[in-house]
Structure 1
Amino acid sequence: MLSKPRKARNALSMTSLIDVIFLLLLFFMLTSTFTRFAEIPLSSGAAGLNATTPDSPPALVRLTSEGLSVNGIDTAPDGLLAAVDALPQAPNLLIVTLTEDVTSQQLVDLLVQVQPRPDLAIKVLE
Protein backbone atom coordinates (compact mmCIF):
# COMPACT_ATOMS: atom_id res chain seq x y z
CA MET A 1 0.00 0.00 0.00
CA LEU A 2 1.15 3.30 -0.97
CA SER A 3 0.52 6.04 1.51
CA LYS A 4 0.14 9.60 0.55
CA PRO A 5 3.26 11.57 1.05
CA ARG A 6 2.96 13.91 3.97
CA LYS A 7 2.60 17.48 3.03
CA ALA A 8 5.36 19.59 4.50
CA ARG A 9 4.13 22.24 6.88
CA ASN A 10 4.91 25.84 6.20
CA ALA A 11 7.31 27.35 8.68
CA LEU A 12 5.55 29.47 11.29
CA SER A 13 6.51 33.09 10.94
CA MET A 14 7.78 34.53 14.22
CA THR A 15 7.95 38.12 13.00
CA SER A 16 4.44 39.11 14.02
CA LEU A 17 4.79 37.39 17.41
CA ILE A 18 8.03 39.25 18.13
CA ASP A 19 6.39 42.53 17.12
CA VAL A 20 3.49 41.97 19.50
CA ILE A 21 5.82 41.01 22.37
CA PHE A 22 7.95 44.10 21.74
CA LEU A 23 4.88 46.36 21.75
CA LEU A 24 3.63 44.84 25.01
CA LEU A 25 7.05 45.27 26.60
CA LEU A 26 7.21 48.88 25.45
CA PHE A 27 3.68 49.57 26.73
CA PHE A 28 4.38 48.21 30.21
CA MET A 29 7.72 49.99 30.45
CA LEU A 30 6.16 53.35 29.61
CA THR A 31 3.09 53.02 31.82
CA SER A 32 4.69 51.68 34.99
CA THR A 33 5.96 53.92 37.78
CA PHE A 34 9.25 53.12 39.40
CA THR A 35 9.54 56.12 41.70
CA ARG A 36 7.02 58.10 43.69
CA PHE A 37 7.08 61.82 43.09
CA ALA A 38 6.50 64.28 45.90
CA GLU A 39 2.86 65.06 46.37
CA ILE A 40 1.75 68.59 47.08
CA PRO A 41 -1.64 68.82 48.81
CA LEU A 42 -4.03 71.35 47.31
CA SER A 43 -7.42 72.47 48.54
CA SER A 44 -10.05 73.76 46.20
CA GLY A 45 -11.86 77.03 46.75
CA ALA A 46 -15.24 75.36 47.25
CA ALA A 47 -17.83 77.45 49.04
CA GLY A 48 -18.69 76.41 52.56
CA LEU A 49 -15.56 74.38 53.09
CA ASN A 50 -13.64 75.39 56.21
CA ALA A 51 -15.95 78.33 56.77
CA THR A 52 -14.21 79.36 59.99
CA THR A 53 -13.05 82.94 60.37
CA PRO A 54 -9.25 83.15 60.20
CA ASP A 55 -7.37 84.88 63.02
CA SER A 56 -5.51 87.10 60.58
CA PRO A 57 -6.28 88.37 57.09
CA PRO A 58 -5.09 86.17 54.22
CA ALA A 59 -2.15 87.15 52.03
CA LEU A 60 -2.75 87.52 48.31
CA VAL A 61 0.03 86.06 46.17
CA ARG A 62 -0.09 86.93 42.46
CA LEU A 63 2.05 84.67 40.31
CA THR A 64 3.05 85.84 36.84
CA SER A 65 5.59 84.53 34.35
CA GLU A 66 7.96 87.38 35.31
CA GLY A 67 7.75 86.89 39.07
CA LEU A 68 5.40 87.17 41.99
CA SER A 69 3.95 89.74 44.33
CA VAL A 70 2.67 89.42 47.90
CA ASN A 71 -0.15 91.84 48.74
CA GLY A 72 0.89 94.01 45.78
CA ILE A 73 4.60 94.16 46.70
CA ASP A 74 6.95 92.64 44.09
CA THR A 75 9.01 89.81 45.52
CA ALA A 76 11.88 87.68 44.29
CA PRO A 77 10.69 84.27 43.06
CA ASP A 78 12.52 82.46 45.88
CA GLY A 79 11.68 85.01 48.58
CA LEU A 80 8.04 84.15 49.19
CA LEU A 81 8.37 83.06 52.82
CA ALA A 82 10.52 86.08 53.66
CA ALA A 83 7.88 88.38 52.16
CA VAL A 84 5.11 86.61 54.08
CA ASP A 85 7.08 86.88 57.32
CA ALA A 86 7.59 90.62 56.68
CA LEU A 87 3.83 91.28 56.66
CA PRO A 88 2.43 93.14 59.71
CA GLN A 89 0.21 90.20 60.67
CA ALA A 90 1.35 86.66 59.95
CA PRO A 91 -1.33 85.16 57.67
CA ASN A 92 -2.77 81.67 58.09
CA LEU A 93 -3.94 81.54 54.49
CA LEU A 94 -2.24 82.27 51.16
CA ILE A 95 -4.55 82.94 48.23
CA VAL A 96 -2.64 82.34 45.01
CA THR A 97 -3.84 83.88 41.74
CA LEU A 98 -2.27 83.02 38.39
CA THR A 99 -2.01 84.78 35.08
CA GLU A 100 -2.61 82.87 31.86
CA ASP A 101 1.08 82.66 30.93
CA VAL A 102 2.17 80.90 34.15
CA THR A 103 3.49 77.39 33.64
CA SER A 104 2.66 74.51 35.92
CA GLN A 105 6.34 74.28 36.88
CA GLN A 106 6.24 77.83 38.25
CA LEU A 107 3.19 76.95 40.36
CA VAL A 108 4.86 73.81 41.68
CA ASP A 109 8.01 75.81 42.54
CA LEU A 110 5.85 78.24 44.52
CA LEU A 111 4.08 75.42 46.37
CA VAL A 112 7.39 73.73 47.20
CA GLN A 113 8.61 76.97 48.79
CA VAL A 114 5.64 76.98 51.17
CA GLN A 115 5.99 73.32 52.17
CA PRO A 116 8.27 73.98 55.18
CA ARG A 117 5.43 76.03 56.74
CA PRO A 118 2.58 73.58 57.50
CA ASP A 119 0.69 76.33 59.38
CA LEU A 120 0.02 78.14 56.06
CA ALA A 121 -3.04 76.99 54.17
CA ILE A 122 -2.96 77.54 50.42
CA LYS A 123 -5.86 78.19 48.08
CA VAL A 124 -5.18 78.38 44.34
CA LEU A 125 -7.80 80.34 42.42
CA GLU A 126 -8.78 79.33 38.91
Structure 2
Amino acid sequence: MTPLIDVIFLLLLFFMLSSTFAKYGEIELSNATGGGAASETPAERHFVQLGTERLDLNGAPITLDELGNQLETGQVLVSLYPDTTSQRLVDLLVRLRGRDELSVLVLE
Protein backbone atom coordinates (compact mmCIF):
# COMPACT_ATOMS: atom_id res chain seq x y z
CA MET A 1 0.00 0.00 0.00
CA THR A 2 2.83 2.41 0.84
CA PRO A 3 4.55 2.10 -2.60
CA LEU A 4 1.22 2.87 -4.29
CA ILE A 5 0.86 6.07 -2.25
CA ASP A 6 4.43 7.03 -3.15
CA VAL A 7 3.77 6.53 -6.86
CA ILE A 8 0.56 8.54 -6.71
CA PHE A 9 2.35 11.32 -4.84
CA LEU A 10 5.16 11.38 -7.41
CA LEU A 11 2.68 11.53 -10.30
CA LEU A 12 0.78 14.34 -8.61
CA LEU A 13 4.02 16.24 -8.02
CA PHE A 14 5.12 15.70 -11.62
CA PHE A 15 1.87 16.98 -13.14
CA MET A 16 1.74 19.98 -10.82
CA LEU A 17 5.29 21.05 -11.66
CA SER A 18 5.03 20.44 -15.40
CA SER A 19 1.80 22.37 -15.93
CA THR A 20 1.60 26.12 -16.42
CA PHE A 21 -0.86 28.31 -14.62
CA ALA A 22 -0.29 31.51 -16.56
CA LYS A 23 -2.96 32.64 -18.97
CA TYR A 24 -1.65 33.07 -22.49
CA GLY A 25 -2.72 36.14 -24.43
CA GLU A 26 -3.42 36.21 -28.10
CA ILE A 27 -2.36 38.89 -30.57
CA GLU A 28 -3.65 38.89 -34.10
CA LEU A 29 -0.99 39.35 -36.75
CA SER A 30 -1.84 39.87 -40.37
CA ASN A 31 0.32 39.14 -43.37
CA ALA A 32 1.57 41.95 -45.51
CA THR A 33 -0.67 42.64 -48.45
CA GLY A 34 0.39 43.29 -52.02
CA GLY A 35 0.74 46.82 -53.26
CA GLY A 36 -2.40 48.43 -54.56
CA ALA A 37 -3.22 51.73 -56.09
CA ALA A 38 -1.71 54.66 -54.30
CA SER A 39 -4.18 56.70 -52.32
CA GLU A 40 -4.56 60.38 -53.05
CA THR A 41 -3.73 61.46 -49.50
CA PRO A 42 -0.67 59.79 -47.99
CA ALA A 43 -1.27 58.17 -44.64
CA GLU A 44 0.43 59.59 -41.60
CA ARG A 45 3.59 57.58 -40.88
CA HIS A 46 5.28 57.17 -37.53
CA PHE A 47 8.67 55.56 -36.91
CA VAL A 48 9.11 53.70 -33.62
CA GLN A 49 12.45 52.34 -32.45
CA LEU A 50 12.07 49.69 -29.74
CA GLY A 51 14.76 48.43 -27.40
CA THR A 52 14.84 46.68 -24.04
CA GLU A 53 15.05 49.92 -22.08
CA ARG A 54 14.44 52.43 -24.87
CA LEU A 55 11.45 53.53 -26.91
CA ASP A 56 11.59 56.37 -29.45
CA LEU A 57 8.78 57.85 -31.53
CA ASN A 58 10.12 59.74 -34.56
CA GLY A 59 13.48 60.14 -32.78
CA ALA A 60 12.10 61.45 -29.46
CA PRO A 61 12.08 59.31 -26.30
CA ILE A 62 8.61 58.26 -25.14
CA THR A 63 6.95 55.78 -22.76
CA LEU A 64 4.57 52.99 -23.74
CA ASP A 65 1.61 54.78 -22.13
CA GLU A 66 2.29 58.01 -24.00
CA LEU A 67 2.78 56.09 -27.26
CA GLY A 68 -0.62 54.43 -26.96
CA ASN A 69 -2.27 57.82 -26.41
CA GLN A 70 -0.49 59.64 -29.26
CA LEU A 71 -0.94 57.13 -32.06
CA GLU A 72 -4.53 56.89 -33.28
CA THR A 73 -4.30 56.86 -37.09
CA GLY A 74 -1.77 56.21 -39.81
CA GLN A 75 0.97 53.68 -40.26
CA VAL A 76 3.49 52.72 -37.57
CA LEU A 77 6.86 51.34 -38.65
CA VAL A 78 8.57 49.50 -35.78
CA SER A 79 12.34 49.01 -35.88
CA LEU A 80 13.91 46.70 -33.29
CA TYR A 81 17.25 47.12 -31.60
CA PRO A 82 19.29 43.88 -31.35
CA ASP A 83 18.68 43.65 -27.59
CA THR A 84 14.87 43.82 -27.86
CA THR A 85 13.02 40.96 -26.20
CA SER A 86 9.92 39.39 -27.66
CA GLN A 87 7.96 40.33 -24.52
CA ARG A 88 8.79 44.00 -25.08
CA LEU A 89 7.51 43.74 -28.67
CA VAL A 90 4.32 42.04 -27.50
CA ASP A 91 3.79 44.81 -24.93
CA LEU A 92 4.05 47.39 -27.71
CA LEU A 93 1.67 45.49 -30.00
CA VAL A 94 -0.86 45.11 -27.19
CA ARG A 95 -0.86 48.89 -26.67
CA LEU A 96 -1.47 49.54 -30.37
CA ARG A 97 -4.07 46.86 -31.16
CA GLY A 98 -7.77 47.47 -31.62
CA ARG A 99 -7.47 50.66 -33.62
CA ASP A 100 -9.06 50.41 -37.06
CA GLU A 101 -7.29 53.47 -38.49
CA LEU A 102 -3.81 52.30 -37.37
CA SER A 103 -1.64 49.75 -39.15
CA VAL A 104 1.55 48.40 -37.58
CA LEU A 105 4.48 47.02 -39.56
CA VAL A 106 7.46 45.44 -37.79
CA LEU A 107 10.66 45.86 -39.80
CA GLU A 108 13.37 43.22 -39.90
TM-score w.r.t. structure 1 length? 0.58
Identity %: 44
Unaligned stretches of 5+ in structure 1?
Answer: 1-12
Residue 2 of structure 2 is matched in structure 1 by 14
Residue 50 of structure 1 is matched in structure 2 by 33
| Residue correspondence of structure 1 range 59-70 to structure 2 within 5 A | 59-70=46-57
- How far apart, in 2, do the equivalents of 1:105 and 1:33 lie? 18
Higher radius of gyration, 1 or 2 = 1
- How far apart, in 1, do the equivalents of 2:27 and 2:49 lie? 19
Across the aligned residues of Structure 1 and Structure 2, the Cα RMSD in angstroms comes to 3.0
Change (3 A) 1:23 1:52: farther
- How far apart, in 2, do the equivalents of 1:30 and 1:80 lie? 38
Q: How many residues align?
A: 104
More strand by share: 2
- How far apart, in 2, do the equivalents of 1:124 and 1:40 lie? 14
Asked if the contact 1:58/1:94 (under 8 Å) is kept, the reply is yes
2:105 is the counterpart of 1:117: no
| Residue correspondence of structure 1 range 79-98 to structure 2 within 5 A | 79-85=66-72, 90-91=73-74, 93-98=75-80
Deviations 1:70-95 (A, max 9, x none): 2323223321133335xxxx41x322
Residue 78 of structure 1 is matched in structure 2 by 65
TM-score w.r.t. structure 2 length? 0.65
More helix by share: 2
SS, match of residue 78 in structure 1: helix
- How far apart, in 2, do the equivalents of 1:122 and 1:95 lie? 6
- How far apart, in 2, do the equivalents of 1:101 and 1:37 lie? 23
